[in-house]
Structure 1
């Protein structure tokens, strides 16, 4: 679908100059842009690629001398990535899921579908499930018995929603996301090696081999409005009380949310974050890629954890942490600098030892 430069600028609240009637059908990096693309040169260092491409219009940083860059039109974006959000929303053609209910979909007669819900091939919707108006159920999606999904949801291919999960409006789940099935919750007849190690901080008495007995997950999952889950991300059902994800939270691909976890509003978790069971996370928390969070701890509001951080104890509100175990970011950086200095320090210590040894021998 084509949009004029003027239409794009108006939609994202930006300033447009030049021939704003130019028709745009796509977006591209400067060197790859064609005549119908808007080139994204949001920083001065990206502008060099414009001469290699064929863009007539570009999205530029404020104050850019657009005419000297060989352009016929420009949009000035004070906050480039925010402007990209609006632009990509306008230009996104979607995944092409058809309207209506496909003949191969299996929908229990007791399920309730709101107005204008589309259901793609081979989707399965269980007994008593409720799907809100205008939602899109992609190919091969499974929605369990009694699950509730709000309006304007998009469940991409092979998403799986467990029985009795409750999910708010405008939910988006990328392919393979799994919500509301049994968590890894097991127990042994006698205290296991794990329980002993935890209570003694390391000592384990000899014990007989034992089988693991499953604790079934009865708590389900409750997810708020405007939540997005990435591809192959899992949110386990709670054991007795529900696992919870707050409004506006965004969770990247390949993340794991354990049973009984409570996540606040508007959090952001990058790929491969793992959160162990019964942990509570506040509002507006950001966890970088591969952050691991131990079980039964709390993380306060507005915490930021750098990539690869291992959080094994409580983190107070507003703290920026990094490293394993997690410490204040400035402390981690000092530790890292000290670690890099270790080889030189060891050489100095060896030299001092040698000097002292010689001095002792000469006396």
Structure 2
């Protein structure tokens, strides 16, 4: 595929300059860009790599002096990453799943398939399932009994939508994602060591008759519109009521949302986030990589948790947190600075103790 500089500028809402009819066929970093690539140099530091490549056109920051860089054309953008979103959308050729229903796909007679749906090799669509118009069901996907997915969804290879889950429009699931797996919900006939530990918050525990009995998941999962789920991420079914994920949420690879969790709209979770059962996450919450959230708590709207944070208690709206346990980010950073000074402080205290001891001996 090929694109003129003007066409790209129009698509991303930017300004084209120079030879706007120049044609490019791909995008590349400045140092590795060829003559048919548009170089992505949207910061001055990135533009330093242009002389190492052979790009004739580049996407640059808004007031860049593109002519001094020896370019024939340029696209000048206000918001670089927003422009990159538009550019990559234009140039994404997809996974090559093809169109139509593959002869090896198995679709139960009671399933409802919308118009212009693609179903890849070895995919299975169960009884009573409903697939919206323009969906792409990749190879080896599984869609369970009475599951539903809205229009324009894309399930990449190996995705599993289990029984009775309800998925909104424009859903994207990366390879290996699972929605509607059973929750990790178990009980013991006798009081378990977990219950003992919660009651005492310390001390010894005993395990008498600690054999685990499953509590079955009846609640399934409800996912809103415009949600993306990363590779090998899992959303567990609720126990009685559904687990819920709001509109516009973007969940990265290897994340886990446990049973009965309720997530608001437009949240962003980085890789390896884990949210324990029955927790409520507000709107526009951002959780960095490896953030863990305890069960049965709440995280308010617009909270930002830095990577590795462990949330063990209720977090009010708008707070920026970091650490284990998660506290205000500025508090954590100041505490960290003080911790780094502890060895020197101990040396100073030891020296003072030694000086006082000698002073006492002299007296």
Deviation at 1:182, TM superposition (A): 0.3
* Structure 1 segment 1-363 matched on structure 2, within 5 A: 1-363=1-363
Q: For residues 267 and 87 of structure 1, what CA distance do their matches in structure 2 show?
A: 24
Q: For residues 156 and 94 of structure 1, what CA distance do their matches in structure 2 show?
A: 10
Deviation at 1:238, TM superposition (A): 0.4
In the alignment of these two chains, the number of paired residues is 363
**Matched residue SS, 1:180:** strand
Q: For residues 286 and 69 of structure 1, what CA distance do their matches in structure 2 show?
A: 38
Q: Is the 1:175–1:232 contact (alpha carbons within 8 Å) kept by the matching residues of 2?
A: yes
Q: Is the 1:196–1:203 contact (alpha carbons within 8 Å) kept by the matching residues of 2?
A: no
Q: Is the 2:189–2:209 contact (alpha carbons within 8 Å) kept by the matching residues of 1?
A: no
**Matched residue SS, 1:307:** coil
Give CA deviations for 1:109-157 in whole Å, capped at 9, x if unaligned: 1100100000000000000000000000001000000000000000000
Deviation at 1:36, TM superposition (A): 1.1
Q: For residues 134 and 54 of structure 1, what CA distance do their matches in structure 2 show?
A: 40
| TM-score, normalised via structure 1 length | 0.99
Q: Is the 2:190–2:209 contact (alpha carbons within 8 Å) kept by the matching residues of 1?
A: no
Q: Relative to structure 2, which stretch is displaced further, 303-312 or 45-54? A: 45-54
Q: For residues 33 and 295 of structure 2, what CA distance do their matches in structure 1 show?
A: 48
| TM-score, normalised via structure 2 length | 0.99
Unpaired segments of 5 or more residues in structure 1? none
Q: Relative to structure 2, which stretch is displaced further, 207-216 or 349-358? A: 207-216
Q: Is the 1:267–1:284 contact (alpha carbons within 8 Å) kept by the matching residues of 2?
A: yes
Q: For residues 24 and 244 of structure 2, what CA distance do their matches in structure 1 show?
A: 42
Give CA deviations for 1:98-118 in whole Å, capped at 9, x if unaligned: 100000001001100100000
Deviation at 1:199, TM superposition (A): 1.4
Deviation at 1:210, TM superposition (A): 2.0
Deviation at 1:205, TM superposition (A): 4.7
Q: For residues 229 and 181 of structure 2, what CA distance do their matches in structure 1 show?
A: 15
The alignment yields a C-alpha RMSD, in angstroms, of 0.7
Q: Is the 1:193–1:204 contact (alpha carbons within 8 Å) kept by the matching residues of 2?
A: no
Unpaired segments of 5 or more residues in structure 2? none
Give CA deviations for 1:13-50 in whole Å, capped at 9, x if unaligned: 10000001111111000011111110000100111111
